[in-house]
Amino acid sequence: MAIRFFTRLLLVLSMLGALSACTLLPVSPYDSTTDKSITRLHKQTAEFFVGAVRANECAYEHHVDFYQRARVSLSVLVVRAKAVAHNQTTVKQLDLLVKSFDNLAGLHRLGCFNAEQVDGLWSAFDMSFSAILRLELAKK
């Protein structure tokens, strides 16, 4: 009888230990506006990278509009993400993307990008956009 009690107690304690190790974090619901906005910004960024190495149009001054539109889009996305409860991961990802755009603009001010630089930068931005979209779509 005592062995049965201790066996059950051990089983219950093991289950409680296992459950306490699996903490669920609340996540915000899917937001189609964020999905569409980040997809639109991704497309604009891809178009920028395609045109970034074109002759006579590679200088930063030729792309100021792109950087301004990107900053406005990101600002709207960050404010929206911060307004939603349990959305800290998306906010962090968007903050990193803002820093990436700031760094890109800083690099661009130093001079034109060559094809190899564009490939590396484009890959990095694709990964950032993919991570944000993957999270948003997982919320569905």
100: in domain? yes
10: in domain? no
What's the pTM value of the predicted model, to 2 decimals?
Answer: 0.81
Task: Evaluate whether 28 touches 86 at the Cβ level (below 8 Å).
Answer: yes
pLDDT for 100 equals 96
Helix (H) or strand (E) holding 11: helix 2-21
66: in domain? yes
What is the C-alpha to C-alpha distance for residues 78 and 17, in angstroms, rounded to an integer? 38
What is the domain count for the chain? 1
Q: What is the mean pLDDT of each run of 10 residues along the chain (140 residues)?
A: 56 52 72 96 95 82 96 98 95 97 95 90 95 94
11: in domain? no
pLDDT for 90 equals 96
User: Which residues constitute the domain of residue 41?
Assistant: 26-138
98: in domain? yes
